[in-house]
């Protein structure tokens, strides 16, 4: 046992142990030494034999069980039995006749020790470490051992030969717990049997010592052998099953891993195929795009192989020249045969110069014209590069050609539209007595197109002021020309119709008749400086904004109707009246001011309402402020805005500059009346002073049918309850014409307290005074 566990080197310890055990019971020291030697050699031989056959201490194989029974117990113990019994015989401890009996007792004792005790001790080693058994299993083990003890005690106490009854219980222990059950079980049974045999109980009653020992040994050997073999078999089968399961599990894992690897590989492959397909698709797409791009850009490419004088053109090159793609083969002469004579000469010179100069280099860009077979002339821009061989000989020339005919056309149209646009907007606002005005037009900066925003300010015969602002959708020449037509039509209708709704209706009817495809919106309003009322009509345009000197601005949003030409019935265009309080400003604008991508028109209008709040007295500053805060660097739409504010007379002198033409007189009279009312002149005085001023101006004005572009300045001032009038013109004083029968001066003198006419080289000045009845407040 110790040899098995600790190895050969422990022989000395074993020998000493055996000597100490044998010394007191031996007849002489020599006999004790001989017995100890036998007792040491026997287990040493047993351990060596077991080691040789590859014995495993767990005794979990059939061969281990057989080895321990036959090699260790039965064979090796022959040595100790023979040596021991021999020593007893030789030392005279036993008579010769007792030798077989002593030998048998010795042999069976040692063999039983090996069979019963050694496996048990070995099995104890396998108990080391934490117990893995469950409660059930422990209960089963305990129950089993109690049962085994009781059964063994029962069979050794009866005279019946029933010792074999314990075998099923041992089989149970071996089956359920292998060597851990079999070895202690065998030890227990053997122990009890030995105890019974020593006492001569039950089956061991009677007979010789040899016969009892033989029976006991046979029984113990059977018990041990059966237990070990059975336990080993069970262990072996369990191990086999485990390794089988392990192998199966391993196989399963490997299959799973392999499957996963395969599916990964498969996915990668699928992906690669997809990618490759995509790349191929992209490549084909690129080729198609290149061809399309050439077609869209009217962009062709060519190559000239110089030594063999062969020219190849891209498809688009053929199309630019008015041919089917690849319609015919080309050489240089054929390639340039459509070029206009003068330009061909330039191309020849360029080419020759390029060939002469040698080396790889770019040839200067050239613009030239070709005539197609349908006689259409196209303007082309060509770029080329020369490639030479190793010795500098010209090999080939490659180049591109772009058809820029449409661009040239577009540039021309753009110039015309820009000119038209400029000519259509008032270059300066008219000076209208009683109102101040400011206007701005900002063209779109992104894109070179001309917009269709416009505005106009009209002095109406009845002293009212007409203000129109409009937007023709679309850009370029068509929009600009539509806008021009609308603006002129507005001027004409505004002179004839007092009602803004009527003016808008007539514009609507005009638009319906004109071939105008663009949408046109418009706000037209008439401001009456006398009453401060604003009458307005709106055809689909952003509403005008009234900005009071203090408080919240508000939109004039009544009567909104569809854009011009879009209303199903003209009576949809109506007008509304808004009362402009003193100091208020009226702002008209186009949607380019407030409309931004991603911002609703409503939000834009709300923002404008906030930005316009509490404007200063300077309308120009208001306009600049609004443009500054609403327009970024890139205005995508053009913007027009116009601001109007009535001039409030508060005892200020009146300064008027009016055109020296008859139609300027009526509006001037309106302004004069307003001013005179403000200084508390009564209606009669007002009429008479206005009449005197009118007569003075009429003298300054050129003949109604002549050409007049002069200016008349009229100043009115109230000094000490007296109205002082100065009318100044820069023309020459005309002798009162027959048209008034010379009554003008008569009337002036008749109604004014004092009239003084002073004619100089620079013009004529008429000074008049009239004292008012009511003192000025």
Cβ pair 268, 292 in contact under 8 A: no
Size of the site for another protein (CB under 8 A): 31
- For position 744 contacting another protein by CB under 8 A, the verdict is yes
DSSP-assigned beta bridge partners for residue 305:
310, 396
Alpha-carbon separation of residue 422 from 290, 426, 446, 453, 492 (angstroms): 41, 8, 18, 11, 20
* Span from 160-168, 283-291, 543-551, 662-670 in contact with another protein (CB under 8 A): 662-670
Among 159, 282, 422, 663, binds another protein (CB under 8 A): 663
Return the structure tokens found at 144. Answer: 């089993």
* Span from 157-165, 303-311, 375-383, 682-690 in contact with another protein (CB under 8 A): 682-690
- For position 754 contacting another protein by CB under 8 A, the verdict is no
Among 495, 577, 627, 660, binds another protein (CB under 8 A): 495
- For position 690 contacting another protein by CB under 8 A, the verdict is yes
Residue 675 C-beta: closest distance to another protein, Å? 16
- Residues near 407 by beta carbon (within 8 Å), at least 6 away in sequence: none
Among 720, 741, 760, 775, binds another protein (CB under 8 A): 741
Cβ pair 573, 595 in contact under 8 A: no
Nearer to another protein, 478 or 710 (CB): 710
Among 263, 264, 423, 462, binds another protein (CB under 8 A): 462
Among 158, 253, 259, 746, binds another protein (CB under 8 A): 746
- For position 169 contacting another protein by CB under 8 A, the verdict is no
Among 412, 491, 734, 739, binds another protein (CB under 8 A): 739
Residue 577 C-beta: closest distance to another protein, Å? 21
Nearer to another protein, 732 or 746 (CB): 746
Residue 631 C-beta: closest distance to another protein, Å? 39
CB atoms within 10 A of CB 761: 5
Between CA 742 and CA 746 the distance in angstroms is 7
- For position 694 contacting another protein by CB under 8 A, the verdict is yes
* Span from 296-304, 364-372, 459-467, 589-597 in contact with another protein (CB under 8 A): 459-467
- For position 743 contacting another protein by CB under 8 A, the verdict is yes
- For position 567 contacting another protein by CB under 8 A, the verdict is no
Sign of CA dihedral 721, 722, 727, 728: negative
Cβ pair 227, 172 in contact under 8 A: no
- For position 456 contacting another protein by CB under 8 A, the verdict is no
Among 453, 456, 695, 729, binds another protein (CB under 8 A): 695
Among 683, 734, 754, 774, binds another protein (CB under 8 A): 683
Task: Return phi, psi of residue 529, to 5°.
Answer: -65, -25
- For position 665 contacting another protein by CB under 8 A, the verdict is yes
Cβ pair 555, 544 in contact under 8 A: yes
Q: In angstroms, how far is CA 53 from the centroid of its own chain?
A: 76
Nearer to another protein, 475 or 670 (CB): 670
Between CA 717 and CA 704 the distance in angstroms is 29
Cα–Cα–Cα angle for 99, 101, 104, nearest 5°?
A: 105
Residue 744 C-beta: closest distance to another protein, Å? 4
Residue 462 C-beta: closest distance to another protein, Å? 7
- For position 203 contacting another protein by CB under 8 A, the verdict is no
Alpha-carbon separation of residue 57 from 22, 44, 184, 414, 638 (angstroms): 28, 16, 15, 108, 103
Cβ pair 658, 714 in contact under 8 A: yes
3-state SS string over 573-634?
Answer: CCCEEEECCCCCEEEEECCCCCCECCECHHHHHHHHHHHCCCCCCCHHHHHHHHHHHHCCCC
Residue 296 C-beta: closest distance to another protein, Å? 56
Among 107, 573, 589, 751, binds another protein (CB under 8 A): 751
Nearer to another protein, 472 or 691 (CB): 691
Task: Return phi, psi of residue 560, to 5°.
Answer: -75, 125
* Span from 124-132, 450-458, 633-641, 657-665 in contact with another protein (CB under 8 A): 657-665
Return the structure tokens found at 120. Answer: 């048990």
Angle between helices 99-112 and 209-296 (to 10 degrees): 30
* Span from 23-31, 110-118, 403-411, 695-703 in contact with another protein (CB under 8 A): 695-703
- For position 750 contacting another protein by CB under 8 A, the verdict is yes
Cβ pair 192, 153 in contact under 8 A: yes
Residue 773 C-beta: closest distance to another protein, Å? 14
Nearer to another protein, 335 or 489 (CB): 489
- For position 747 contacting another protein by CB under 8 A, the verdict is yes
DSSP-assigned beta bridge partners for residue 641:
440, 589
Nearer to another protein, 197 or 752 (CB): 752
* Span from 258-266, 296-304, 324-332, 683-691 in contact with another protein (CB under 8 A): 683-691
Residue 663 C-beta: closest distance to another protein, Å? 5
Residue 570 C-beta: closest distance to another protein, Å? 23
Residue 751 C-beta: closest distance to another protein, Å? 7
- For position 684 contacting another protein by CB under 8 A, the verdict is yes
Return the structure tokens found at 151. Answer: 């059964």
Nearer to another protein, 95 or 742 (CB): 742
Alpha-carbon separation of residue 678 from 98, 207, 534, 692 (angstroms): 169, 165, 20, 18
- In which element (H, E) is residue 463 found? none
Between CA 176 and CA 28 the distance in angstroms is 49
- For position 691 contacting another protein by CB under 8 A, the verdict is yes
Nearer to another protein, 542 or 667 (CB): 667
Alpha-carbon separation of residue 66 from 51, 59, 220, 237, 385 (angstroms): 14, 9, 15, 16, 101
Nearer to another protein, 645 or 670 (CB): 670
Task: Return phi, psi of residue 503, to 5°.
Answer: -60, -45
Nearer to another protein, 401 or 696 (CB): 696
Residue 693 C-beta: closest distance to another protein, Å? 10
Q: Is 675 exposed, middle or buried (0-12, 13-18, 19+ CB in 10 A)?
A: buried
Region 697-736 residues binding another protein, contact defined as CB under 8 A: 698, 701, 704
- For position 667 contacting another protein by CB under 8 A, the verdict is no
Binding mask 401-440 toward another protein (x if CB under 8 A, else -) reads ----------------------------------------
Alpha-helix runs per DSSP H in 91-208: 99-112, 118-125, 135-157, 166-199
- For position 320 contacting another protein by CB under 8 A, the verdict is no
Between CA 183 and CA 230 the distance in angstroms is 11
Nearer to another protein, 258 or 703 (CB): 703
- Residues near 610 by beta carbon (within 8 Å), at least 6 away in sequence: none
Residue 741 C-beta: closest distance to another protein, Å? 5
- For position 672 contacting another protein by CB under 8 A, the verdict is no
Between CA 504 and CA 599 the distance in angstroms is 30
Q: Is 467 exposed, middle or buried (0-12, 13-18, 19+ CB in 10 A)?
A: buried
Nearer to another protein, 236 or 740 (CB): 740
Between CA 656 and CA 433 the distance in angstroms is 6
Contact residues for another protein, defined by CB under 8 A: 460-462, 495-496, 662-663, 665-666, 669, 683-684, 687-688, 690-691, 694-695, 698, 701, 704, 738-741, 743-744, 746-747, 750-751
């Amino acid at each position: 046992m110790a040899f098995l566990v600790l190895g050969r080197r422990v022989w000395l310890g074993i020998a000493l142990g055996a000597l100490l055990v044998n010394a007191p019971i031996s007849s002489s020291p020599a006999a004790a030494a001989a017995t100890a030697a036998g007792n040491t050699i026997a287990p040493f031989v047993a351990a060596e034999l077991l080691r040789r056959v590859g014995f495993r201490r767990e005794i979990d194989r059939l061969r281990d069980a057989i080895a321990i029974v036959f090699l260790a117990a039965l064979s090796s113990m022959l040595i100790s039995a023979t040596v021991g019994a021999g020593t007893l015989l030789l030392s005279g401890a036993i008579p010769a006749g007792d030798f077989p009996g002593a030998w048998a007792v010795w042999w069976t004792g040692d063999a039983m020790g090996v069979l019963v005790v050694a496996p048990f001790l070995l099995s104890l080693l396998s108990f080391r470490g934490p117990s893995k058994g469950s409660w059930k299993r422990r209960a089963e083990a305990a129950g089993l051992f109690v049962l085994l003890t009781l059964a063994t005690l029962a069979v050794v106490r009866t005279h019946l030969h029933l010792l074999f009854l314990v075998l099923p219980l041992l089989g149970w222990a071996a089956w359920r717990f292998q060597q851990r059950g079999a070895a202690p079980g065998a030890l227990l049974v053997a122990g009890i049997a030995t105890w019974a045999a020593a006492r001569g109980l039950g089956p061991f009653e009677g007979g010789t010592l040899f016969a009892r020992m033989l029976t006991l040994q046979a029984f113990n050997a059977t018990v041990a052998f059966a237990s070990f073999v059975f336990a080993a078999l069970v262990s072996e089968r369990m191990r086999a099953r485990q390794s089988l399961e392990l192998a199966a599990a391993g196989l399963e894992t490997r299959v799973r891993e392999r499957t996963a690897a395969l599916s990964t590989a498969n996915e990668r492959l699928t992906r690669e195929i997809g990618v490759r397909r995509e790349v191929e698709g992209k490549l084909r797409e690129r080729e198609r795009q290149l061809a399309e791009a050439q077609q869209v850009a009217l962009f062709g490419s060519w190559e000239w192989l110089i030594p063999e004088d062969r020219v190849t053109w891209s498809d688009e090159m053929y199309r630019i020249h008015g041919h089917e793609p690849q319609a015919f083969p080309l050489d240089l002469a054929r390639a340039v045969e459509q070029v206009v004579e003068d330009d061909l000469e330039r191309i020849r010179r360029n080419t020759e110069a390029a060939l002469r100069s040698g080396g790889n280099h770019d040839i200067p860009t050239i613009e030239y014209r070709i005539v197609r077979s349908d006689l259409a002339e196209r303007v082309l821009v060509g770029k080329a590069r020369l490639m030479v061989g190793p010795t500098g000989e010209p090999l080939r020339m490659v180049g591109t050609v772009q058809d820029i005919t449409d661009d040239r056309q577009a540039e021309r149209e753009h110039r015309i539209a820009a000119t038209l646009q400029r000519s259509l907007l008032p270059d300066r606002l008219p000076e209208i007595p009683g109102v101040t005005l400011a206007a701005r037009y900002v063209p779109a900066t992104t894109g070179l197109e001309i917009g269709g925003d416009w505005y106009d300010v009209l002095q109406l015969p009845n002293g009212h002021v007409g203000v129109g602002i409009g937007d023709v959708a679309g850009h370029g020449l068509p929009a600009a020309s539509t806008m021009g037509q609308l603006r002129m039509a507005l001027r004409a209708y505004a002179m004839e119709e007092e009602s803004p709704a009527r003016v808008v209706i007539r514009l609507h009817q005009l638009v319906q008749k004109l071939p105008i495809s663009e949408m046109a919106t418009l706000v037209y309003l008439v401001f009456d400086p006398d009453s401060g009322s604003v009458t307005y009509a709106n055809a689909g345009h952003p509403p005008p904004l009234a900005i009071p000197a203090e408080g919240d601005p508000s939109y004039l949003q009544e009567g909104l109707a569809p854009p011009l030409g879009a209303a199903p019935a003209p009576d949809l265009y109506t007008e509304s009246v808004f009362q402009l309080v003193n100091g208020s400003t009226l702002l008209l604008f186009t949607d380019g001011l407030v409309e931004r991508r991603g911002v609703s028109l409503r939000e834009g209008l709300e923002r404008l309402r906030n930005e316009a709040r509490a404007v200063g007295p300077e309308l120009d500053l208001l306009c600049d402020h609004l443009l500054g805060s609403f327009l970024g660097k890139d205005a995508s739409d053009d913007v027009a805005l116009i601001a109007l504010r009535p001039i409030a007379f508060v005892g200020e002198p009146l300064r008027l500059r009016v055109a020296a033409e008859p139609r300027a007189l009526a509006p001037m009279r309106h302004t004069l009346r307003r001013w005179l009312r403000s200084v508390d002149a009564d209606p009669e005085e007002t009429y008479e002073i206005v009449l005197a001023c009118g007569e003075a101006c009429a003298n300054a004005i050129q003949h109604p049918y002549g050409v007049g572009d002069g200016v008349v300045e009229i100043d009115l001032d109230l000094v000490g309850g007296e109205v002082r009038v100065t009318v100044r013109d820069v023309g020459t004083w005309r002798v009162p014409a027959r048209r008034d029968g010379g009554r003008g001066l008569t009337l002036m003198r008749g109604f004014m307290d004092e009239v003084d006419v002073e004619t100089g080289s620079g013009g004529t000045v008429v000074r008049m005074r009239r004292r008012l009845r009511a003192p000025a407040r």
